[in-house]
Amino acid sequence: DAGITQSPRHKVTETGTPVTLRCHQTENHRYMYWYRQDPGHGLRLIHYSYGVKDTDKGEVSDGYSVSRSKTEDFLLTLESATSSQTSVYFCAISPGQGLNNEQFFGPGTRLTVL
């Protein structure tokens, strides 16, 4: 398995609170991604990173921010969580030029916003 861990694995929080999810890799891959997975929508890209301090928006980036201060860590922050952000969040990594290559996924974080 690719060396990807996510923390926490489960979290329950209340509307309006800030939440940070962490993705850690041991593969030294350049590209890292955050997705959310919801029934009926499949996997949707939130943000991605193509290097330290280099990030860009995906298709569902509103309400989310990211940071990457080290190659191995990619953080996803919900500044003020809403119930619509209840979802399963997956981190993925990719070698080389990410869009031409397969992605390797972490185990996921199940987030519930009450």
In the complex, which residues of this chain contact other proteins (CB under 8 A)?
A: 40-45, 48, 56, 58-59, 90, 92, 99-108
- For other proteins, the closer of residues 53 and 102 by Cβ is 102
- For other proteins, the closer of residues 84 and 101 by Cβ is 101
- For other proteins, the closer of residues 14 and 38 by Cβ is 38
33's CB contacts (< 8 A; 6+ apart) are: 45, 47, 48, 49, 58, 91, 92, 93, 94, 98, 103
Could you tell me the smallest distance in angstroms from the CB atom of residue 30 to other proteins?
Answer: 15
1's CB contacts (< 8 A; 6+ apart) are: none
Could you tell me the smallest distance in angstroms from the CB atom of residue 71 to other proteins?
Answer: 20
